[in-house]
Amino acid sequence: MFSNQYDVIVLGAGASSLMLAYMAAQRGRKVLVMEKANKVGKKILMSGGGKCNFTNLYVEPENFISHNPHFVISALTRYTNWDFIGLVCEHGIEYEERKHGQLFTLNGAKEILSMLLAECNKTGRVEIKTSCEVKAVTPVDDQGFQVATSVGYFQAESVVVATGGLSVPTLGGSGIGYDIAKQFGHYVHPTRAGLVPFTFSDQFKEVTTRLSGNAVDATLSNDLNSFTEALLFTHRGLSGPSSLQLSNYWNVGQSFHINFLPYLELVDFFKTKKTSQPKVLLRTLLTEHLPKSVVLELQNLIWAESADIAIANLSDEKLEQIAQRLHAFEVKPSGTEGYRTAEVTLGGVDTTEVSSKTMESKKQKGLYFIGEVLDVSGHLGGFNFQWAWSSAHAASQYV
């Protein structure tokens, strides 16, 4: 039924690709989707702990990191979180709202993937080839492009690069999108792992190892940003939403601060207790607010020499010092867990050389970039998928 000639070839069969494929096909375009893995949408299936945090109730340009922060506005405005929620509802997919407006499916990420595939099928114009690894894209005079793959050559008028970033190679992470961009003269911002746990090699690593499995609500901050969410101690360092979020704003060699008690004004709390419970020890007071094992480690790190002194016998100055360190405990990670576990790749194809309206390359007619391959990364909370949906929709109207 199909020859090797298509209107549109989409490289990769992840979130942005499948979205674009059905929307372009709805416009009458004949679309071929190429995926190197033997299955499509692997990241969708693994996302959100298997429940896919598919979007967020509160999507703002500030939720995205890019060297060109205004780039996202046009696409996000034309295909919003409510458009995607509408699609999810049309398909009868049940979902729930969790903290911070995050929306997750109730019955599993496979429903989101099935929805996209059903939309592709409905058009009758989308062909999906799995185990088809893209090797090279070559422009053909006035006729679009030739795509060389592990299973042969294919031609199309438009080529859409939707191959994602480098994160989690076992789920398809690859650098081919960056190579193609460079080949056509695009600048690619240096990439690094984002939304990724921190690792430590100093004395603090022993602390996190001993506390492994414990979680507290904390604020992690540096000069660039601050996030108050769960902080999880691991055998290798720090994870949990607050760490993943801050990792997007952290570089090797930098330190950051942890506020272990963001909801308590500790100086006032200590002063009140000094009068009302003069004989109490600090660790006893703090175990009302933090797990005991965490308090004992913090005691070792911060007030070991005063551990057994009643609060009434600690000077106000000493209490202020302790409070200050509990509110702003400085740590210096040695690194992150890297692309192996990172949810996203920071950096990527420079967006000043791509149209924010159509996602088309300003350097090569008919070549488009969508999703994570671009220099756009979202915060944790469904923003990366929303970018995949919105950027795909933008390009789908023009490919």
Ligand X SMILES: Cc1cc2nc3c(=O)[nH]c(=O)nc-3n(C[C@H](O)[C@H](O)[C@H](O)COP(=O)(O)OP(=O)(O)OC[C@H]3O[C@@H](n4cnc5c(N)ncnc54)[C@H](O)[C@@H]3O)c2cc1C
DSSP-assigned letter for residue 307: T
- Position of minimal CB gap to ligand X: 14
Please tell me whether residue 375 binds ligand X under the rule CB under 6 A: no
Write out the binding residues for ligand X, residues 311-350 only, by CB under 6 A.
343-344
Q: Which is nearer to ligand X, 21 or 258 (CB)?
A: 21
**Paired residues of 215 in beta bridges:** 232
Nearer to ligand X, 127 or 133 (CB): 133
Give the nearest distance from C-beta 169 to ligand X in angstroms.
9
127 binds ligand X (CB under 6 A): no
Record the tokens describing residue 95, joined without a space.
């979902």
Q: Which is nearer to ligand X, 299 or 391 (CB)?
A: 391
Contacts with 73 (C-beta within 8 Å, 6 or more apart), sequence order: 61, 356
User: Which residues make Cβ contacts (< 8 Å) with residue 177, sequence separation at least 6?
Assistant: 11, 12, 161, 162, 163, 164, 165, 348, 349, 369, 373
**Nearer residue to ligand X within complex by CB, 25 or 258:** 25
Number of chain positions touching ligand X (CB under 6 A): 39
**Binder among 31, 75, 126, 168 for ligand X (CB under 6 A):** 168
Smallest distance, ligand X to C-beta of residue 19, A: 8
Question: Per CB under 6 A, does 85 bind ligand X?
Answer: no
Q: Where are the alpha helices (DSSP H) in the chain?
A: 15-26, 42-46, 71-78, 81-90, 110-123, 176-183, 203-210, 241-247, 266-276, 282-286, 292-302, 316-327, 383-396
Query: Considering only residues 147-166, where is the footprint of ligand X by CB under 6 A?
Result: 162-164
| Nearer Cβ to ligand X (175/335) | 175
Q: What does the DSSP 8-state code read for residue 379?
A: P
Is there binding between residue 35 and ligand X (CB under 6 A)?
yes
Order of strands across the sheet that contains 335-336 = 329-331, 256-259, 215-221, 226-233, 237-239, 198-199, 335-336
Helix, strand or coil, per DSSP, at residue 236: coil
**Positions that interact with ligand X (CB under 6 A):** 11-17, 34-37, 42-43, 46-48, 52-53, 133-134, 162-164, 167-168, 171-172, 174, 176, 343-344, 371-373, 382-385, 388
